[in-house]
Chain A
Amino acid sequence: MNIVVDQGKCVGAGQCVLAADDVFDQRDDDGLVDLLDANPPAERLADVRHAAAVCPASAISVHF
């Protein structure tokens, strides 16, 4: 899996961090998304999909 985040869309809600804090973080200076792992192992798929689904700005996409 390959994760792409769009910082231009991100509103810093932090929903992705709550869903998968090993994959997503928020930058200290502006709170926008910080992608820690663009290619996490397959067993993280459910949480990553959830992170993409709850993102209020639709800033996360998951590719295969």
Chain B
Amino acid sequence: MSIDAERLKLPFARPNVLELAPLYELLRREAPIAPVTTPAGDPAWLVTRYEEVKLLLGDKRFGRSHPEPEKASRVSTSAVQDGPSGEYATEEADHTRMRRLLTPAFSAKRMRMLGENMQRLVDACLDSLIAEHERTGVVDLHRGLAFPLPVAMICGLLGVPEEDNELFASLSERMASTEIGEEAHQAREEFFRYMVGLVEGKRGQLGEDVISDLVRAQAEDPSFDYVEMVRLCVGLLFAGHETTVNRIGLGVLFLLTERSRWDALVADPEGRVDAVVEEVMRLGAPGDLGLLRYAREDVDIAGVTIRAGDALVLSINAANRDATVYSEAEEFNPDRPERTHLGFGHGAHFCIGASLARTELRVVFAALAKRLPDMRLAKELDQLQVRATLTGGVAELPVTWRSA
């Protein structure tokens, strides 16, 4: 097939939630930066090779804002990473200020100190699941573990009432939906109003939490816009649970769809869990798009000329399976010699919650291997309900450890 014959349209249909469309392999080899049409119907460049994805993530000539946002290509109809964000003139300074504010609260050491608390939460989740399994023989790991753990952790860090979890989870789901059109944007507005209520409720009694920190910083800094502050809080609450919930689900599926992977972890949970987590971060491929950037100037790269204002979709999913970087790139192999990946991004926008996510994933997979060594999927992979959202993942994770 020729990839020049017509402009490719995103998303590319994938065989299942664990594999990518075979077209990505062809693109990496033949057209690592290819012109495509986004799900929203606009032109963009799709970047698929590790080298260019990493390079562009670290290159300040590419940002998230656009000088004329109303003219910018839209990427999807969801309300998350769907188009430009931030002020074009002050983007870098705004972003630096935001990172300085938030980084201490998410530092590696602090996240490690949360490990014991996480362990207790995971053990409590597993106790409940084991009791339920006694009665029913099948339990949903998504509802009973993958969802409640990241939600409890991010609520504690941000200072969000955990009892609101159904509300903000449903808002997150709708906001990231790729199938409900304008309603996704209505959900973003609702989420914004919910956060304004939370912020204003806190203002009189600020505490030791990230949202309180942001409210304080915004009150003291006239250049820190109120709307930006509230959007940031929404972004943290959204990203702080959505992404890890999905990643736990994908990890469980990678491990349980090939018994030898699971057995290897069960044989030595503490010794192997770190490598398993990194491989789940590399191969897990949530969503069908990638990270969005807009060129701030004309750039010649990989045989194409990108014009100022052009949109780029950087496919982390494709880059992390680049056969020129990883040996047997499509294989799940925690023992592989290549230890780096782009699962948390790269450069100035590197995931601020990476240490939180790693700690959560480590605790979850070690605990599952220790306490539920006989666990297996209660449904076939292709029978599982996949979420129609930008961040993808599965909506259910039915497992059993009843003797067959």
Q: Which residues of A contact B (CB under 8 A)?
A: 11-15, 17-18, 21, 25-32, 50, 53-54, 56-58
User: Which residue of chain A has the shortest Cβ distance to B107 in the bound complex?
Assistant: A26
Known: A28-B104, A31-B103, A58-B58. A13 touches B340 (CB 8 A): no
A14 to chain B: which residues have CB within 8 Å? 106-109, 111, 354-355
Contact of B358 with A by CB under 8 A = yes
A56-B350, A57-B348 are contacts. A12–B103 as well, Cβ < 8 Å?
Answer: yes
Q: Tell me the bound Cα distance from A17 to B346 in angstroms.
A: 16
Closest Cβ–Cβ distance, residue B221 to chain A (whole Å)? 15
Contact indicator B347/A25 (Cβ below 8 Å): no
Q: Closest approach, in angstroms, between the C-beta of A48 and any C-beta of chain B?
A: 13
CB contact under 8 A between A15 and B99, given known A31-B104, A56-B347: no
Could you tell me the distance between the alpha carbons of A44 and B52 in the complex, rounded to whole angstroms?
Answer: 31
Could you tell me which residues of chain B, from 37 to 83, have a CB within 8 Å of some CB in chain A? 58
* Shortest Cβ gap from B24 to chain A (Å): 23
Assuming the A-B contacts A18-B355, A50-B339, are A12 and B107 also in contact, with contact meaning beta carbons closer than 8 angstroms in the complex?
yes
Q: How far is the CB of A42 from chain B (nearest CB, A)?
A: 20
Is B345 part of the binding interface, using a Cβ–Cβ cutoff of 8 Å? yes
Asked whether, in the complex, the Cβ of A30 is within 8 Å of the Cβ of B100, the reply is yes
Chain B contact-residue range equals 20 to 34
> Can you report 8 residue pairs joining A to B where beta carbons are below 8 Å apart?
A11-B348, A12-B100, A14-B109, A14-B354, A17-B109, A21-B109, A25-B109, A26-B104
Closest-CB distance, B3 to chain A (whole angstroms): 31
| Cα of A22 to Cα of B364 in the assembled complex, Å | 26
In the bound complex, CA of A21 to CA of B102 (Å): 21
The residue among A18, A30, A31 with the most chain B CB atoms within 10 A of its own CB is A31
A11-B347 CB under 8 A given contacts A28-B104, A30-B103, A53-B340:
yes
**Known contacts A14-B107, A30-B104; is A57 also within 8 Å of B99 by CB?**
no
A26 touches B109 (CB 8 A): yes
In the assembled complex, the Cα of A49 lies from the Cα of B337 at a distance in Å of 14
Measured CB to CB, the closest approach of chain A to B358, in angstroms, equals 7
Distance, CA A36 to CA B160, complexed state (A): 35
Q: A53-B340, A54-B340, A56-B350 are in contact. Are A11 and B99 (CB under 8 A)?
A: yes
